[in-house]
Structures are given as structure tokens and as C-alpha cells.
Structure 1
């Protein structure tokens, strides 16, 4: 085994070289590329790994303008995609992100090498690729807490278990026993909105004389943005004299985030005898508040209009006969005590505001050491909790008539995970060029998803329901008593992992993992990987593996109703998601979910061309039986009645429903290329890097009755096929200058049926160090104020001037000022 020490990492660290907190020379910044994922051999370097692993320093995240770790990761990893999610139901609270073109829950997230819990939010609306996914919320981790991040771009379910199909991301926390930093950052979009600020700090201290305690926190807030165009229907209302219609009637932009707090604690303590106690965890909370679709006061069905477009007028005393208000206009109702129109409450229509209180916490504790027989052990237990308590206001439960509240608590989603792990590793001399590393371990995991019922008004079927008024809180119906509940699943796993240099320069690894789930049975997966040094300047590497992803209890049991814009109807429709085992779903082929199965293989090379370091990796990922929502089915009256009886009280107003299936297979292929170069011919030192990713997904087989053509386009075209970044970072004395050009390919937006062309985005920073400890940085993201091409049908539709699924955002340039003091 060999450990390589270089000035630059051979992978995506070079992509983020802009993040240097104070000017230093390349000779002083020596980074040892030791990895902790993809192998269980201590001291293995990224260059010697059999699979592509990118190492990104924590400073690469701190020194950017944004404060959301998802956006920061997107800027330094070209195969990582995340967008703004302005009107995306619960996905606006926990944004779904995609690695290598797959769903958010195809990527396993670790913190200090331990599995991180998933978020409670299921992304019902995610431009197809993320629809129905339930991934982790990494935005709860403050960037200042990170020592480094390792991105394993390879399937690793045989090593780590479920979800590791697209890859693994490991967030390694800072563990310094002294020193720290204090940082204040503020920024605003060129348009004058979206003001952000964060105050963050990191502090290391001794934990007795034998340990450390490293604490980090971040507090901040983010104002909302508006990149809308006034809808033609709203403009027509204003032109006709309705002064109560807002301009714009519907806002497209990022939601407002209040009271955003993140904290992390990392502890370590030497116990003597080669044993170490460790513990780490996080606590975070925030309130997210965003907009929904505009309800037109003349045409919104089941609130202002009946199914034929006539004014919907409620008879408040039906004992006198339901026809007593027949033929009334909204104006007639205003002068009648017996007849009621919702224009009395919202004369200009209404646009619901939707959001939630997000709480996230996790704790891991364990002991590691070495037994007398040479086996190194690591015994740990962890608990992860994520809760999203929804709210919606500026809306109605129309079936309650004038007695309706205008603010509701629809209920909550909660995710709770418990893990217990025993991991052991030992090296054996068996006559090979290195010791044969034998790793083995056991895992027990329990996962619970809970739906908490909302307040009664949020799901109640009121007295006007029989007259055609919609029941439940309009926009996001509350969870009724029969929809609420807890669903749990337990699984057990055992693995063995072998790795050795067979001869000098030839690494070979083998992994085998068995898992048993108490709801759908067992699965066994394997992996074979190798790295061969061809010459001193060239190594080839490759892997083959099988993998799986288990359906989550949330995906198997959750109810949800989303109000979505139907492009064909040019109107809002209520679409419900029900469990696949619901009696109504069974009529369309619904059945209990099975795990997805995958086959991954990669082949690549690591080499140098003169002073340039290059890595090239090709990947192929086949996933069978992918878990995702089906297409939408129209409801018959009998099915509506059945859904109401099963607890979906808002089903009386549903046009369509869907459920989770295992009914399509995909193949995702791609290439990652990274080239880095360093020179002192420009300034004291200049680092230049190019990172390129090309990813293509094709749907190989599907069931036409459950997956439609639009969904296939979303899966195949919803993300840019090609992305690349070219960056340069130069230090001259106390000054540092950075420029980064990011290129995004085109993408398909199913919300408006358009394909949008790609763009190039320029970021820049200039920093000055007053002392070795104090510095100030002025920067701009999207320096040239680029926007996506405009949606030609925005005014005729819902006012979305730009595609909400733009991979680089749709809000234009953002400038920021950051001050930092290190101690």
C-alpha cells in the first residue's frame, strides 16, 4: 500500500480552489489525500483508490456566497444538481438534489462515516427525476463545521447498504482541539431582493486533557424573491376594475427562510489502552414560507365557480330549498344574508402561502479501538430525527363557507431512524504485496415514518360540500385521522470486505453484503474493484457491483394531495398520492413495493501530462424496478367515495390520483473528466482546473399503464446532460482573486412543456488579508447577471417568466461581502 501526498487532489478539490480563506503558497498548502469511504484500509489515498473519490476541503464550501450546503455542493461537483423549487409543495422546504442523474434517495449520505437519516419530506413535485424521492436534508449542516467532504462516484450498496446506487457523500467534521473562526456574510441579488445574512462560528477546545470538543453554529435568514410576470387572467381582472388583485397575483421565486439555525458538535476522548470514545451530532431548525398558485375569483372551481364555470353561490339555509340561490351572481350574494360567495372574503381571489417548521437533529456515539488479537473495532449507535410541521394560510376550506378559517395546520411528517453498528477490520500476511485487509460487520436499523393529523378544519368536509364547494384546506389539504399513523421497518445486515495489493501496483477489492428487511425479505449484493499502476504516471481503475434501494416506509404509506397546474387544461387540478396497497390503487395494479435493484460498473484512468493531473472515469448504472409515483388516473365517483372512506377526506375534490410503483427500468451512463494545473508564473501562485461531467439517462422498459410519455421525458431530459466548470485562483501577496465559468446544458421543464437552452455562468471573488487572522472578501455569483431564456407562455399560464427547474437558478446575479476572523 502506498500513500501519496500532493499539493492538489486529483479530483474535484481542484474544482473548488477558489475557497482559500487567506493567501498561502502552494508549497505551504500540502493536502494528504487520505480517504475514509470506498475502502476500509486505513491510510488509502484517493489516487490509489479503485473507484473515483473526490476530496473537497471545508473551506471550499465556506468561501462561497450561498449558505445552503446543497447549492455550495452544486458549485463544486458538476454531476450534482439542485434547483430553486419555488412552488413545489413540500419540496420547497427540503430541496431534492441529484447525483449522476439519479434520484435524491439514490445517494447515501454519511457524516463522519456514519449513515445520516433521511428527511421527513417526500418530494411529490421534483420535475420527474426527483418525484416521490425521500432523501436526506444536508442543508442542516453548517459549512463552517466541515473539515472535508468525500464524494464517492460509484455504486457502493455492497459496502454500505441501501441507497448507495448513485454514490456516497461523506461529510467529515472538524476535530481541532483549539482555534476557530468567526464569520459574517451578507448578500443580495442585483434585483434588490433576496437579501441573505449569516453569522457563523467554529471553536475547538480540549475535552479533558485526552480529547477534543469542536463546536460549530450558523444563524441566518433569507428574504424571498420575485421573478414573476403578471398573469393575463389577473391583468384582465385589474383592467375590469378589480382593485383587490395583487400584482403579481402569483409569485415565482425562492421562499422566505426565517430563524435558520444550524449547529454541530464533534467530540473525541482517548480512554487509554488504544480505545477512543467519540460522539457527534447536529441540531437545526428553520421556518420556510413560500407561495402557491393564484385562485381566480371568477373561475376557480369549487370555490368561486361550479364545474361549468358559473358563479358558485352557497345557500346558507338549505332547509328553504337548494335552489333559493340559483342563478345568483357574486354581486347578488353580497347583498343576501342567505346566499354566500367567497368574493365576500377574497374579492380579488387568493394565493395561498404554504410552508413549514423544520426541525432536524441527530446524535451518534461510539467506541473504537483494537483488541489484543489485532482486530480493530468500532461499535456505534445513532439516532436521527426530522420533523416538518406544515402550515398554510391565506386560503379557505370552502365547504365551511363563511365559517372557514383562513389559516390552517394541515399536520406533520416525521422521520425517525435508529442504527446500531459493529465494524471490525484486521490485516493478514498471506504472501501478497500488502496485508490482506479483512473487514466485517453487523448493522441493525429501524426506520419510522409518521403522519400527524392536522387541525379539524384542515381536513373537514363542511356543510357546503354537497353544493359543490371543496373540502379541506385549499392548496394543501390536512391529514385526517385515518390518514395519520406510524409505520416502521427494521432490517439487519452483515458484510465482509476484502482488499489487498496482490502484487506491487495492483490493488484488488471484494465486498459482499447481506440484508434482511422485515417487510419484503432479503437481498445480497457484491462488488469487485481494482486499480493497476501501468506506469509511474498512469493508473487504470474499474469496478463492478450490484446494489439496491429499499422503499421507505413513507413511500409505502404516505397520503398527499397537491394542487398542480395542468398544461392541457390550462387550469389547476387536485392530484392525490395514495398508498399502493389502497383498495383504489389496487384497481389500477397497485401492490406492495419491492426494492430497486442496480448493476454498476466503472472504468477510468488517473494520469499526468507534464504538469497537468487528469482523471477520466466512465460509468454505467442500470436500475431495475425503480420506485416512483405512477401516472395520474382519473377518479370515478365510486373511487372518490372509497378514498373518502379510507381517510382521504379531500378526495371529493380530487381530479386524479397516483401511487408508487416499481414499473420502469433505466440506464444512466456518463463520463467525468477532471484536469488540474498549478503555476507560479502568474502571481505568487495560480491554480487552474477543468471539471467536466456528461450524464445520459434512458428509460429501457416501462408499463404504459403506469408511466406516461411526459414522465419519460422528465427522466431523460429533466437535468442538463452536460456540465463543466473552468476555474482559476490566484494569490498575489495579501490579495486573492478567483474566477469560475460554469456551463449548463439544456433541460426539459414539464410544468410548461418547454425545452430551455443552456447558459454559461461566471462567478468571481476578490479577497484581501489585513493580517494572518483577519480578511475580507467581496464576491459575485452569476457576475454577468445571466437569466434562463424566458417562458413564451408565462403570461397566458401561471406567470412563471423563467423555468422553475433552471439548474443554475432564475434570479440573476447575487453579490456578497464576507468578513472572517480566525483565532
Structure 2
């Protein structure tokens, strides 16, 4: 297969292409030029956008057709039979679902309602209308199958939150920028939270003002794009306007007066020479801390840290009388970000164009570990703490505990350089993409409490410990080469084929010795030398894609792909899809079946570390992760990781029964074999450790629904409705667990920690200079079986006393979050927007659920119920959301104001 890849690569570079150049102007039905209209050569990925005066220029093959699409307008198809083609677009029923998309096929681009695959299309206007500060949070309130939320205990996860599509984890959605693979983050989620044991690309790093549209393929696409596309593909298309631009100033604050946000963003286009363009975005933002601690329970604290006696409770109460929240800080951390992005292109000749894009993002995050109270870290055990964090007076100490910080510096970059040629009907796209993510951590206001003596018998740490540490960090980089070729062979057949080469590097950076020696820095131990290093691998892939229009209404599409990895071998996957239109294209039936794979990430293969984590009833404990290539793994008989394999089935219908109304509904069924998970901690000869393994098979199925009804005349304005939803029908393990331990807690984090159903209902009304939007997001219930709760012993015999023990879980109650948006176009250039997110200050709310009679009896006892509540909220520190997570933001109402000025 490697020889085939090389031959295809060479063939792609020498394929010879004859064509014509078309230019023109696109306007609306009032004669106003439309900037940003998409023009695509039918059956190819060859496309351009109109500039600020509605002008465009495109080189196409002889006899081609051009498809003109623009958000909110009907699409138009014109035969390229003249060097000058001017087009007028009407607003009668142009919808997102009718948008021509380029994601999901290596051959012809097709509209969504008539495509063979379910694809969401979001414009930049859709994203900014949410009022959310970052791209990932905007998607949370626009795409029902997309979920992300800030984790209660931040640590490294404060730098980027785990996200997922269809409850499949962050590592099973492939992220593309202009059709090219974006690098993964270097962060591996190891906390007890959704996304545990996985990693994903940092989509929050992408400036929203740089995005023209987002295309989300809700279907397995490993055959087209390779690893990581089991759940779907998100293709982020960057802006291409070359003359106009805008400056946006935005601010915000929560209803509780914290979390202040200030940002400024500049997006500008310019011409480069006679035929080139450059679009650039510069974005700066600062978000202050928003703190949402709970009121800490004294008896729970006394039980955890002291002997639980009345005297102990009095000691705790003295501190809590001054600090009811035990000085704990949790919520949304302080974040500063600087984002830079360029997107450009130039026509080198009549048949060849150059394109490029590059981005660099820097983020600084300041967050906090759990506050070490004076009864948690008493002077009786560590008298030197008064010198570090008090006044140093032994007679009248002022020591009152200390709060370790966790500070992270993140840099993320990506760039692509490529060229496209069109000759004799052949479209060739060759590119090189680089990308990387680096995270470096700092811990301040902490101490190394280890009793380690030097040669003279003096403590190396404790009273001689530093209070600032550099625990190290991680980095991930990749280099990707792509060559893609496509051609319309006839009116019925189009083909695409290509190759991809990818080299990946993962680095764990060693921390300073004080951060890891002994027990390391209190709150976040550094990377030890034996756990640090640099690892790499490479892979080569080839694919072939054929689309056949049996009739003008009946399409079939097939793709096959083979990948060879340097570390674990090869994988061959395929995909078949079909679409049938009838009733004058008003109804489309579609379906697909495919196999897929996901290679274990380098993070999962090589991560080995000690970590601090909360254990219910035991406070903060140290546990470890051993990797699958370590001597410890060999002694424990832990096998090395293999790729996950998947089978995806999607069946759906798309319809546009009349002007202005369209909808799609799709059923999906995803089986993942040899699913890679980070298992439970287990007591071994190497201590309390966890590890990754191909542990079991899983099945996820559900329904996606999208409907729009727009351009309804009400008075002098236009009204629009949109409804979209995701229903999870099945999400569970379907095989025994092997090579690991996977209990109730991990089962919940993997399968039930995201809403089992989520719906979005939006209303938009535009009249004169005003635009109004009301968006309601319904978050269905989520459930957790959490660490420390009374629960059945999964290994106990049915009917035994252990099996019949009280069994509880927590359930987050369904809620509706309402967002209000008001836009005022003061002039043609100036727009003012006010967004009130979570208008009614709806907060997560959870309850205990008994799973047997003994559990019900326990909940009937207020004392025992309170004990259980303390276990999962760390004595009410995390009473709003529990320690393991929740289903939407706990910050409450947020007010956001932005001013946009167009140049």
C-alpha cells in the first residue's frame, strides 16, 4: 500500500489539466451588490466568493455549471457559456439547509437537503448572534448534538473544555480548517469529568470573526478523511472577502457582577497584486474570574479532616463563620487571549491558484485548586506554613490556610500552503499543513510538604520548600501533506482520489525538581523525568471516491481508504451512501453505511503521571497513570493499544415541500469496537494506578432533527422559526470489559453525562433597522453514578447483601435556557447588538435518584442524605454542579454588548 500511495502521489502531481475564465457581479433583487456569495463549479470543490462590490472571478472547465449560494437567498445555477455572467439572487426561501456544502464528499458539492449525508451549515452571523464569547460555546447553543461545558475543577482543563458530538467523546470528531486537518491539543483529560481519557482540537482558539461558515457532517467519515472522524467532521471555512472589513468591540458581565469580559476584534480584507486577496483577523479578549462556590458544611468538613467530634465542628465553624465558602474558588477562571489569523490566495496563472492560511493563538489562564483550610493543613502538622502564608509569629500566628493557584500558558498554531489546478476537467489540490499546541503550567502559593533529607540531615522541602513551581507541560505537533484529485468523468460519474501523509509529535516536558520530588507541589505535581520525553509516529493514507448518478434523482457514492501507521500497522475502511429525490426535488431520501477507525493518540499511548484528584470521603489523593509501553504495564500484563473500529449507519429524509420551509430528520447508529478508555484506579504492586486499554464495544444511536420556516411576512418585517433537536435512543456498552476496570462512575461519564436529549427553538424577526432573536435551548436530563455514593458492588452475586445495598445516582433535571438578542443597524456601517444569555437565570439543578428499595430508605433519612450530598460536592463546595460535572453553564444570566463598524 505504501507503493500505491507513492504512485498516487506522483500521479497526482503530473495529471495535466483546459478551461475558461468567468467573471461577473452578484446582486440581490433590489440591485444591491452582495459580498461573500459562494460560487462553486458544479461537481468540484473549485470555488470563490464575491468581494465587497459583489464581483467575482473564477476559472472553470469548458461546459461547466456554476452554483451561486448565499445565506438567506435562493441558490442559482448558471451554465458557464459566457465570459461575463451576472446573477441576481432572491430572498424567497434561501435557507441554511439549502446551502451548497463541500464537506462529506471528495467529488461533487451538493445542497444539504439533496445531499446523501446530514450536514449542518452555520454562517458567521449565526455564530455571532449567540452572544457567546468563544466559538465552542456558540456551537453549544446552535447544534443540538454538540455539547461542551466548563468542568467544575479546572486544572489544565481550564485551558480548553472537552466537547463532543453525539456523546462520542472529543477525540472522535475530526476538525478541519478550509478542508485541512487541524492539530490536536496537547491536553489529555484525566480528571473525573466528561471526556476523561481523551483529547481533541482546541476549537475555542479559533476567532469567530474569522469564520465565514461552519459545515458539520453528522456521519462517520473515516473513509474520506481518515482517523478521528467516527462521530463526524467539522469543517471551518474562513472568510475570503478582499476589500471590506469591520471592527467589533464587545463587553459583558454576569448578573452577579463578575466574569467581566472585554474584547476587540478586527477583520479586514485586502487585495494582493491584481489577482490575489488577503483576509486577516486580530482578536484580543480578557475575561475576569466568575466564582460560584457553595456554602460548606461544617460537619462534613469535621468528618473529613478532623475527628468529627463537636469540638472539631466548632473549630471548623470558627473558620466558616468568616468564610462560608471555605475560601474555595470555582466557576469560570480568568482568561486572556490573543488570536491572529490570515486567509489568502492568488492566481498564479490561468489554470493554477495558490492559497494559504495561518493562525496563532496565545491564552493565559489563572485558576485555583481547592483552598487548603487551616484545619486541612494545620500548623500542628506543618508549623512552617505560618512562615510561608502567615505572619511568621509563633505566638500570635495569622496563618489561615492557603490557596494554590493553577496557571496555564497555551499557544496554538496552524498553517496551510497549497495550490489548485484545473486542466482538461481534472481538479488537483496539493497542500502542506503544519500545526501545534503547547501548554506550560505554573503553580503558585503552594508548597512541597515531602520529608526528604539531604546529606546533612536537613529537610530539602517543607520549611525549605519554594512556594512557586514549574510543573512542566505538554506539546503536540503535526505535519500533514495532502494531494486530492477529482473529475467529472461524464454526466453520471465523478471520481476523486488522493493521498495523505501525516507525521505527529507528542512531548511531555519535565517539571522542575521541587514540583515532582516526593509528593511534589501541593495541588498539582509536576512531570517526573521518567515520565517525560518526546515521541512521534507517521502514517500514509490513500483513498478512492466514486459518485454515480444512476438517474438525475438517484445517486450512489462509494469510498475506500487504506492507512498505514508506523506504530501499529494498517487499517482499511469503506463507505457507501445513496440519495433519491422525488416530487420535483421536494423530498430526498438518503442513507449511508460505513466502517471507520480511530488510531490511539500519542497522548493515550505514552502518558504516564501522578495526579491529584478528589476521592469522596478521603479528600485529595494522589493516584497514577501508567502507559501501555512501560515496564510496569508489561509486569501487569497490560496489552498495547490497537485502533478503535466502527460501523456507522445513517438513514434520513430531507424535504422542502414549499418555499421558505425545509427540514431534515436522520437516524444514526454507531458501533465502536475495541473502544479505548482510561479505566478505574486499581490497587496494584505499583500503587493506586489506572491505564488505557481497548476495553469494550459500545453502541450509540439516535435521531437528529432540523427544520426552518423563514421569510414570513408580519407587518413590515419578516419572521422566521427554526427547530432542531437530538434524541439519544441508545448509548451504552454492549460487550464485557476486558483488560481494565470500568465501574459505574466511568460508565456514567462515558454514556450518560451529556443530555439524553437536547432541543433548540429559535424565533427571529427583522423589521427596519432592528433584528430580534429569542433562542430557547432545552437540556435534557443527565445522570451520574458518582465516586463515594452508596452503590451496588458490580462484582457481588445477585441477591447478596452487597448487591442489595443502597444504590443511588444523581440526576440533573431538564432545564430550558433562554437567550435574547437585539440588533440595531444604526447606519449602513454601524451595528449595535445586545445579548442577554440565560435571560431567566436558570441554573443546573440535580437530585438523588434511588435505584432500589434500600436506596429509597436511605433518602428517607435526612442525615444520611446530607452525608451522601457532602460526598459528591466535597462538603457543598460544588453544590451547584457536583464534583463530576453538569449539563450547562452554572454562571447564570450574562449581559453582552457589542458594537460593529464596517469599513
Equivalent residue runs for 1:733-752 within 5 Å? 733-750=768-785
Q: Deviations over 1:439-497 (max 9, x none)?
A: 11111100000011111211123xxxxxxxxx211221111222211010100001101
Secondary structure of 2:161 counterpart = coil
Contact kept in structure 2, 1:179 and 1:203, CA below 8 Å: yes
Query: 2:256 aligned to 191, 198, 205, which one?
Result: 191
Contact kept in structure 2, 1:224 and 1:255, CA below 8 Å: yes
Equivalent residue runs for 1:343-362 within 5 Å? 347-362=399-414
The residue number in structure 2 matching 1:530 is 578
Compared CA separation, residues 604 and 241, structure 1 to 2 (3 A): closer
Equivalent residue runs for 1:294-443 within 5 Å? 294-299=371-376, 312=381, 347-371=399-423, 373-399=424-450, 400-429=461-490, 434-443=491-500
Q: Distance in 2 between matches of 1:274 and 1:540?
A: 37
Q: Distance in 1 between matches of 2:127 and 2:780?
A: 24
Contact kept in structure 1, 2:95 and 2:708, CA below 8 Å: no
The residue number in structure 1 matching 2:901 is 821
Equivalent residue runs for 1:147-226 within 5 Å? 147-226=212-291
Q: Deviations over 1:68-95 (max 9, x none)?
A: 1110111110100000123143222121
Q: Distance in 2 between matches of 1:593 and 1:682?
A: 63
Q: Distance in 2 between matches of 1:238 and 1:357?
A: 36
Query: 2:737 aligned to 703, 720, 726, which one?
Result: 703
Compared CA separation, residues 559 and 796, structure 1 to 2 (3 A): closer
Secondary structure of 2:605 counterpart = helix
* Structure 1 unmatched ranges of 5 or more: 11-23, 306-310, 317-329, 337-342, 462-470, 641-655
Secondary structure of 2:141 counterpart = helix
Equivalent residue runs for 1:255-266 within 5 Å? 255-258=333-336, 260-266=337-343
Compared CA separation, residues 236 and 423, structure 1 to 2 (3 A): farther
Contact kept in structure 1, 2:342 and 2:357, CA below 8 Å: yes
Compared CA separation, residues 425 and 710, structure 1 to 2 (3 A): same
Compared CA separation, residues 769 and 273, structure 1 to 2 (3 A): closer
| Number of residue equivalences | 747
Contact kept in structure 2, 1:155 and 1:547, CA below 8 Å: yes
Q: Deviations over 1:576-628 (max 9, x none)?
A: 22212323334444221111000001000012345531111000000011112
Equivalent residue runs for 1:554-569 within 5 Å? 554-567=603-616, 569=617
Q: Deviations over 1:265-285 (max 9, x none)?
A: 001000113100111010000
Contact kept in structure 2, 1:177 and 1:213, CA below 8 Å: yes
The residue number in structure 1 matching 2:724 is 691
Query: 1:675 aligned to 707, 710, 713, which one?
Result: 707
The residue number in structure 2 matching 1:115 is 181
The residue number in structure 2 matching 1:646 is none
Q: Distance in 2 between matches of 1:201 and 1:796?
A: 44
The residue number in structure 1 matching 2:543 is 495
Q: Distance in 2 between matches of 1:521 and 1:7?
A: 44
Equivalent residue runs for 1:628-643 within 5 Å? 628-636=677-685, 639-640=686-687
Compared CA separation, residues 353 and 610, structure 1 to 2 (3 A): same
Following TM superposition, by how much is the alpha carbon of 1:25 offset from its aligned partner in structure 2, in angstroms? 9.5
Q: Distance in 2 between matches of 1:261 and 1:582?
A: 39
Following TM superposition, by how much is the alpha carbon of 1:314 offset from its aligned partner in structure 2, in angstroms? 8.4
Q: Distance in 2 between matches of 1:242 and 1:506?
A: 71
More deviation, 408-417/712-721: 712-721
Q: Deviations over 1:153-211 (max 9, x none)?
A: 00000000000000000000001111011111101110111111110111000011111
Following TM superposition, by how much is the alpha carbon of 1:394 offset from its aligned partner in structure 2, in angstroms? 1.7
Compared CA separation, residues 442 and 242, structure 1 to 2 (3 A): closer
Contact kept in structure 1, 2:497 and 2:545, CA below 8 Å: yes
Secondary structure of 1:105 counterpart = helix
More deviation, 764-773/743-752: 743-752
Secondary structure of 2:833 counterpart = strand
Query: 1:252 aligned to 313, 316, 330, which one?
Result: 330
Contact kept in structure 1, 2:678 and 2:693, CA below 8 Å: yes
Q: Distance in 2 between matches of 1:589 and 1:708?
A: 20
Following TM superposition, by how much is the alpha carbon of 1:677 offset from its aligned partner in structure 2, in angstroms? 0.8
TM-score w.r.t. the length of structure 2 is 0.79
The residue number in structure 2 matching 1:467 is none
Q: Distance in 2 between matches of 1:385 and 1:262?
A: 15
Following TM superposition, by how much is the alpha carbon of 1:291 offset from its aligned partner in structure 2, in angstroms? 1.6
The residue number in structure 2 matching 1:308 is none
Following TM superposition, by how much is the alpha carbon of 1:702 offset from its aligned partner in structure 2, in angstroms? 3.3
Query: 2:113 aligned to 35, 39, 47, which one?
Result: 47
Q: Distance in 2 between matches of 1:610 and 1:547?
A: 37
Q: Distance in 2 between matches of 1:560 and 1:635?
A: 15
Q: Is 2:805 aligned against 1:728?
A: no
Following TM superposition, by how much is the alpha carbon of 1:7 offset from its aligned partner in structure 2, in angstroms? 6.7
The residue number in structure 2 matching 1:239 is 317
More deviation, 767-776/62-71: 62-71
Contact kept in structure 1, 2:721 and 2:764, CA below 8 Å: yes
Equivalent residue runs for 1:135-150 within 5 Å? 135-150=200-215
Contact kept in structure 2, 1:179 and 1:205, CA below 8 Å: yes
The residue number in structure 2 matching 1:21 is none
Equivalent residue runs for 1:427-576 within 5 Å? 427-429=488-490, 434-461=491-518, 471-536=519-584, 537-567=586-616, 569-576=617-624
Contact kept in structure 2, 1:34 and 1:44, CA below 8 Å: yes
Q: Deviations over 1:737-773 (max 9, x none)?
A: 1101110111124557521111011110112111111
Q: Distance in 2 between matches of 1:94 and 1:413?
A: 14
Following TM superposition, by how much is the alpha carbon of 1:385 offset from its aligned partner in structure 2, in angstroms? 1.1
More deviation, 744-753/609-618: 744-753
The residue number in structure 1 matching 2:886 is 806
Contact kept in structure 1, 2:107 and 2:495, CA below 8 Å: no
Secondary structure of 2:371 counterpart = coil
TM-score w.r.t. the length of structure 1 is 0.86
The residue number in structure 1 matching 2:832 is 776
